Amino acid sequence: MTRYRDYKYEYRIDDKDAITFVDQDWLQFAQENEAPDLTLEKVIGSNLLGHIEDDATRSLYKNLFDRIRTYGISTLIPYRCDSPTLRREFDLIIQPLENWGIKFKSKISSITISDYNPLLDISVPRSKQVFEICSCCKNVLFPDKTWKSLERALTRVNLSDLIVPEVTNSVCPKCTQLLQEWIK
């Protein structure tokens, strides 16, 4: 299993949401998890919200950032950041900094070895079908418009085809509600 050192990763943004700092552990985690574009040169100065692919999630985080800056409060958000063979649960601590900046500290709270999940393997070919996955809890939106576990979604993928659906990130209604409660 990959060594995750002390299991803590830190990054910071300025008052315009531009990334101003990422620690070496964050960079190493990105490289070990098939994110070769997340280099120091490409990340520093980029807008954090630009790394979030869907509008709803971007809007939720923007509102959360505004609240943290306005009231000077910190918050903790649990989330999952799984790999094809690991279920990883994190706690994200978001804290205000001077001059309207914000500090993010992600800490792995648990790691569980899981069965291989091709939905999370970026190297496998993809079909035209799209699965929407919650970026916080990793639940998947099913065709019947219900959100179910990532593990259950795997049973819907025909592994004999070796072509799995494309995955797009979003936020499920349950996590949206939790984030909105933190924003209030």
Domains in the chain: ranges and CATH: 8-115+174-183 (3.30.450.20), 118-167 (no CATH)
pLDDT for 125 = 86
Q: Measure the CA–CA gap between 80 and 6, rounded to whole angstroms.
A: 17
pLDDT (mean) for 160-182 = 82
Higher pLDDT, 170 or 152: 170
Mean pLDDT of 63-77: 94
- The pLDDT-based confidence of 1 (bands split at 50, 70, 90) is very low
Q: Are 19 and 46 in contact (CB under 8 A)?
A: yes
Average pLDDT, the chain: 87
DSSP state of 41: H
Least confident of 36-50, 97-111, 114-128, 146-160: 146-160
Which one, of 140, 138, 143, 134, lies nearest residue 171 by Cα?
134
What is the band of 104 on the pLDDT scale with cuts at 50, 70, 90? very high
CA 180 to CA 176: how far, in whole Å? 6
Position 161 confidence tier, pLDDT thresholds 50, 70, 90: low
Find the mean pLDDT for residues 116-130: 86
Lowest mean pLDDT among 7-11, 19-23, 156-160: 156-160
| Residues 92, 77 contacting (CB under 8 angstroms) | yes
Question: For residue 114, how many other CB atoms are within 10 A of its CB?
Answer: 17
Q: What is the pTM of this model?
A: 0.84
86: left (phi over 0), alpha (psi -120 to 50) or beta: beta
